[in-house]
Structure 1
Amino acid sequence: MEIVTKTFIELSNSELYQIMRLRSEVFVVEQDCVYQDLDNKDQKALHVFGTKENEVVAYTRIFKPGDYFTNSSIGRVVVATDQRKYGYGKQIMKASLEVIKERFPNTTVEISAQTYLLKFYTELGFERTGEEYLEDGIPHVKMIKA
């Protein structure tokens, strides 16, 4: 998997379409969650995505401190269903953490993690902070990585 980081304006039409399709396939269809994915925040985000044979198979979006949370943040973490067996989730998260380290050094990273992925994020160095809450009908917890 080749990983690329781009601003919104740098994304090609094809890349943007593939990213939106992947997010919709997983967050709306697979997770059966009706929510507004197009939230007018993508324009501020850095988009980190992995491609395989010219198809987007993994993705995250990153915000600098203050653009989403007080801290830097990573969200919309997604891997195509048929690609999850290759460890791309950890690869895209590690790449995203490196982007934050390079572009926003010495900042804490905050995520709103789906509760069932606590172990995944803990293995990446995140710590749970606070109680479980519902976000778009799905249980989440706030997690921090210093």
Structure 2
Amino acid sequence: MSAEPSYRWHRWHELSADTLYAFLKLRSDIFVVEQNCVFPEMDGIDPQCEHLTALDDRGQLMAYLRLVPPGVKRPHSESPAASGPAIGRVVVAMPARGTGLGRRIMLQALQHCAQRYPQQPVSLSGQQHLEAFYASLGFVTQCQAYLEDGIWHVDMVRAAG
């Protein structure tokens, strides 16, 4: 990946069929196929979310995440801090891994959260093996690891700021 990707936020009603297909395919390729995890990846929450895409200079989807608005989905731990927005379905395409794109798309999301939901904590349910990565972005673990769809997860919260 040579140049910085272009980032774009999408509301559900603004999604083109091509964009929707691209991020659902990437999520499925990683979360279902690569991680060998059979689970309901399309969970009915997407229409309520904002979706962040990162495209390379050829228009290929390199990373994606969704922003779940406050009150839509509570994490496993039911932490009181979970009343704010949540970041989920963070995924980086194989060719872009190891380039720092995961950190950059998370920073884009955190900046958006600060603007859209000022003074609200941001939560996520992350795969446990990524706990240190999320901690490096200011997230603090809220519970012991739990098994979700065959993969160990932890709930984490980042204070408003």
2:13 aligns to what? Answer: 9
1:48 counterpart = 2:61: no
Q: Distance in 1 between matches of 2:41 and 2:158?
A: 25
1:24 aligns to what? Answer: 28
Q: Distance in 2 between matches of 1:117 and 1:48?
A: 20
2:97 aligns to what? Answer: 84
Q: How many residues align?
A: 146
Q: How do 1:62-77 residues align onto structure 2 when only pairs under 5 Å count?
A: 62-69=67-74, 70-77=83-90
Q: Deviations over 1:98-145 (max 9, x none)?
A: 111111111101110100001110111101111110111100011010
TM-score by length of 1: 0.97
Q: 1:95 aligns with which of 98, 102, 108?
A: 108
**Cα distance, 1:71 vs structure 2:** 2.2
**What amino acid is aligned across from residue 34 of structure 1 in structure 2?**
V
**Cα distance, 1:63 vs structure 2:** 1.3
Give the superposed CA RMSD.
0.8
2:62 aligns to what? Answer: 57
TM-score by length of 2: 0.88
Q: Distance in 1 between matches of 2:96 and 2:60?
A: 11
What runs of 5+ residues in structure 1 fail to find an aligned partner?
none
1:125 counterpart = 2:138: yes
Q: Deviations over 1:12-54 (max 9, x none)?
A: 1110000001001100011000011111100000001100111
1:109 aligns to what? Answer: 122
1:136 counterpart = 2:149: yes
Of all paired residues, the percent bearing the same amino acid is: 39
What runs of 5+ residues in structure 2 fail to find an aligned partner?
75-82
Q: Distance in 1 between matches of 2:144 and 2:6?
A: 36
